[in-house]
């Protein structure tokens, strides 16, 4: 255990990225300048994996007095859209981060095009008229060299002319590409004459319209964009480690040795159990209607988690707890669920909600009388205050809190004379019940003891159980959406079964006609509550005064731990 003095926060061990940065600062790299960037491609909404990248990109800049920019790597107009640009920006802000500058890779289209021309003139790039499939077939394997294109040694002037005409719109999409001329036998497959430019005329670019007919490939744009911006530490996930030498090679062709260049370092991706973390798969879930949009509360997207009731703090605490390493792995979703419970424990007011209501009539309570009782908002937070609960003769309680023939260890309502406390109210004893023709219990009767009111001396009387209630006349109807894990297996992508069969059929259950206490009438969308004894819930974004909707964020305890044991 680390012992710290009271005024000091315990010093966490530095992760390997922080260690590297501190080392670079010590050695005076780039004159001690720190600049990072978060480089999303605007082809989908952010997911919690991206948050891991966001936290380190912005976190490093913040911690070491540097700056972090937001740069959209918008090099593929076929898949990109302004809708995504806007949502990415607002998600980053919601998470509590601020970028210094907003950039787009498309800001560099001219610079990148000029570089491509330079590469051609230097004999380091050529126009290949083969199809993408043929080029792929000629790549070879890691152990066998690739085959050189018949166009590889065409005259520089020919490539120059063709490339310029590619950009004028003289040729059809897919009819030719520009390739870097490196080495078809290179041990790193990415060096085998990678495609660096392609023709796209089918989709206008969301920023540059139809100005360009050729677009740089991600690999040709990403590293150079970092360079143009002066990024000192280019942080990304491990799958880019094998691309790093290529990014360096591109820069080596036009920058002197020893001069400034970005330093790319890679960390492990975030993968979480019972979900998938790839925009492609998430898009599939949305497009096939397997979920209700990108912000479906079962999605691992930032907008989905927010709608589910996750707070920015809980997500950032979760990311902080898992850390950054060089080893790929899978994080148990229960850690994320733990983070939101911990965050909401002192923050969320605790209220009564009845999901399967049954009438409770207190036969010795005066008819038409109402009494205002006071209850604590949150016993774990002294500052949370109290609120009023109107009490009366007719209440709703949870059907499962009553049993006609109860076993000995059932401590709630049953006609055996046992005393039960109504939350923040009185002690009652069940005296009988009524059934309908089908044998379903429709009403439960009880008497109350007026000397046992909570908050008075008689309120200290101990009984075995306390049950929740709402007043029949003041409670409000609500729809409750019980969300659970989206998939029924830990790693859906590793399963042999079809993706569709793995969706948890119980991932969404909708309950209508739930009764919640009157204090929730004005609850704002996205505010969090604990429904006593049930779990944490949040008001849905589409909830209105006339149609209250609550989403289950998480149950009070991890119910899956048992299931999977």
Give catalytic residue positions. Answer: 41, 269, 279
The residue number whose beta carbon is nearest to ligand ATP equals: 49
Residue 70 interacting with ligand ATP (CB under 6 A): no
Interface residue with ligand ATP among 277, 397, 427, 514 (CB under 6 A) is 277
Nearer to ligand ATP, 181 or 243 (CB): 243
Nearer to ligand ATP, 105 or 180 (CB): 105
Q: Which residues pair with 376 in a beta bridge?
A: 386
Interface residue with ligand ATP among 24, 30, 35, 50 (CB under 6 A) is 50
Residue 222 interacting with ligand ATP (CB under 6 A): no
| Buried-exposed string 240-268: b where 16+ CB fall within 10 A, e elsewhere | beebbebbebbbeeeeeeeebbbbbbbbb
Residue 53 interacting with ligand ATP (CB under 6 A): yes
Residue 284 interacting with ligand ATP (CB under 6 A): no
Interface residue with ligand ATP among 36, 49, 360, 391 (CB under 6 A) is 49
CB of 43 to ligand ATP, least distance (A): 7
Q: Which DSSP string corresponds to 25-55? A: HHTTGGGG--EEEE---SSS--BHHHHHHHH
What angle separates helix 156-168 from helix 109-121, to the nearest 10 degrees? 160
CB of 289 to ligand ATP, least distance (A): 20
Residue 492 interacting with ligand ATP (CB under 6 A): no
CB of 179 to ligand ATP, least distance (A): 23
Taking CA atoms, 211 is separated from 207, 285, 434, in Å, by 10, 34, 77
Interface residue with ligand ATP among 278, 384, 431, 495 (CB under 6 A) is 278
CB of 52 to ligand ATP, least distance (A): 4
- The length of the chain is 565
Of the candidates 362, 371, 331, 299, the one whose C-alpha atom is nearest the C-alpha of residue 551 is: 299
User: Do the beta carbons of residue 490 and residue 273 sit within 8 Å?
Assistant: yes
CB of 265 to ligand ATP, least distance (A): 11
Nearer to ligand ATP, 39 or 357 (CB): 39
Number of residues that bind ligand ATP (CB under 6 A): 15
Interface residue with ligand ATP among 17, 24, 41, 358 (CB under 6 A) is 41
CA distance 372 to 389: 6
Q: Which stretch binds ligand ATP (CB under 6 A): 34-42, 76-84, 247-255, 531-539?
A: 34-42
349-351 and 394-398 as β-strands: parallel, antiparallel, unpaired? unpaired
Residue 233 interacting with ligand ATP (CB under 6 A): no
**256-275 residues near ligand ATP, rule: CB under 6 A:** 269-270
CB of 514 to ligand ATP, least distance (A): 36
Nearer to ligand ATP, 264 or 528 (CB): 264
* Residue 81 C-beta-side C-alpha neighbours within 13 Å: 7
Of the candidates 502, 507, 503, the one whose C-alpha atom is nearest the C-alpha of residue 481 is: 507
Nearer to ligand ATP, 92 or 348 (CB): 92
CB of 279 to ligand ATP, least distance (A): 3
Q: Which stretch binds ligand ATP (CB under 6 A): 36-44, 101-109, 191-199, 394-402?
A: 36-44
Q: Which residues pair with 447 in a beta bridge?
A: 429
HEC-encoded secondary structure of 104-141: EHHHHHHHHHHHHHHHHHCCCEEEECCCHHHHHHCCCC
Q: Which residues pair with 509 in a beta bridge?
A: 482
Interface residue with ligand ATP among 55, 70, 236, 353 (CB under 6 A) is 236
CB of 71 to ligand ATP, least distance (A): 10
Residue 297 interacting with ligand ATP (CB under 6 A): no
Nearer to ligand ATP, 40 or 492 (CB): 40
Tokens of 236: 């990304």
Residue 168 interacting with ligand ATP (CB under 6 A): no
Interface residue with ligand ATP among 30, 34, 36, 39 (CB under 6 A) is 39
H helix or E strand, kind and range, residue 361:
strand 357-362
Sheet holding 67-72, edge to edge: 35-38, 67-72, 102-104
Taking CA atoms, 92 is separated from 46, 195, 269, 538, in Å, by 9, 32, 18, 21
Per-residue binding letters, 347-366, with ligand ATP (x by CB under 6 A): --------------------
Tokens of 539: 């008001």
Nearer to ligand ATP, 302 or 397 (CB): 302
Interface residue with ligand ATP among 40, 66, 309, 357 (CB under 6 A) is 40
Residue with tokens 């560099």: 108
Residue 52 interacting with ligand ATP (CB under 6 A): yes
Residues in CB range of 419: below 8 A, 6 or more apart: 427, 428, 429, 449, 463
* Residue 67 C-beta-side C-alpha neighbours within 13 Å: 11
Rg of the chain taking only CA atoms, in angstroms: 31
CB of 235 to ligand ATP, least distance (A): 7
Contact residues for ligand ATP, defined by CB under 6 A: 39-41, 49-50, 52-53, 236-237, 269-270, 277-280
């Amino acid at each position: 255990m680390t012992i710290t003095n009271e005024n000091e926060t315990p010093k966490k061990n530095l992760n390997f990225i922080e260690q590297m940065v501190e080392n670079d600062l010590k050695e005076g790299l780039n004159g001690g300048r720190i600049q990072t960037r978060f480089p999303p491609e605007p082809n989908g909404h952010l997911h919690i994996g991206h948050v891991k990248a966001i936290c380190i990109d912005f976190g490093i800049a913040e911690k070491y007095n540097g700056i972090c920019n937001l740069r959209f790597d918008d090099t593929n107009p076929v898949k990109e859209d302004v809708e995504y640009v806007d949502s990415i920006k607002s998600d980053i802000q919601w998470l509590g981060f601020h970028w210094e500058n907003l950039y787009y890779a498309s800001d560099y289209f001219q610079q990148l095009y000029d570089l491509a021309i330079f590469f051609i003139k230097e004999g380091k790039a050529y126009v290949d008229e083969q199809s993408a499939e043929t080029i792929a077939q000629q790549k070879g394997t890691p152990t066998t060299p690739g085959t050189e294109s018949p166009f590889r040694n065409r005259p520089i002037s020919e490539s120059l002319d063709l490339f310029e005409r590619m950009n004028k719109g003289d040729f059809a999409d897919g009819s030719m590409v520009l390739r870097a001329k490196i080495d078809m036998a290179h041990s790193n497959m990415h060096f085998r004459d990678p495609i660096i430019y392609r023709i796209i005329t089918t989709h206008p670019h969301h920023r540059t319209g139809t100005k360009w007919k050729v677009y740089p490939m991600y690999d040709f744009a990403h590293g150079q964009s970092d360079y143009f911006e002066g990024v000192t530490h280019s942080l990304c996930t491990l799958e880019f480690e094998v691309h790093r030498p290529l990014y360096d090679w591109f820069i080596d062709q036009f920058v002197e040795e020893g001069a400034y260049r970005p330093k790319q370092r890679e960390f492990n991706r975030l993968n979480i159990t019972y979900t998938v973390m790839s925009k492609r798969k998430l898009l599939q879930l949305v497009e096939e209607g397997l979920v209700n949009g990108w912000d479906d509360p079962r999605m691992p997207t930032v907008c989905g988690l927010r709608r589910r009731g996750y707070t920015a703090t809980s997500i950032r605490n979760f990311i902080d707890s898992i850390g950054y390493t060089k080893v790929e792995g899978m994080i148990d979703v229960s850690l994320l669920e733990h983070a939101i419970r911990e965050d909401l424990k002192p923050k969320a007011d605790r209220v009564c909600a009845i999901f399967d209501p049954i009438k409770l009539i207190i036969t010795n309570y005066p008819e038409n009388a109402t009494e205002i009782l006071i209850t604590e908002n949150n016993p774990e937070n002294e500052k949370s205050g109290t609120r009023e609960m109107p009490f009366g003769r007719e209440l709703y309680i949870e059907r499962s809190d009553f049993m006609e023939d109860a076993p000995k260890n059932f401590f709630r309502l049953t006609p055996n004379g046992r005393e039960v406390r109504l939350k923040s109210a009185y002690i009652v004893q069940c005296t009988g019940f009524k059934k309908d023709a089908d044998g379903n219990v429709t009403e439960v009767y009880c008497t109350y003891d007026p000397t046992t009111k909570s908050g008075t001396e008689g309120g200290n009387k101990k009984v075995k159980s306390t049950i929740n209630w709402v007043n029949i006349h003041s409670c409000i109807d609500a729809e409750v959406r019980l969300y659970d894990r989206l998939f029924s297996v830990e790693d859906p992508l590793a399963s042999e079964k079809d993706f569709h069969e793995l969706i948890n059929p119980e991932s969404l259950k909708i309950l209508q006609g739930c009764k919640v206490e009157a204090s929730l009438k004005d609850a704002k969308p996205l505010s969090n509550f604990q429904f006593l004894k049930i779990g944490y819930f949040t008001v849905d974004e589409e909830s209105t005064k006339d149609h209250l909707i609550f989403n289950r964020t998480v149950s009070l305890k991890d119910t899956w731990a048992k299931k999977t044991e």
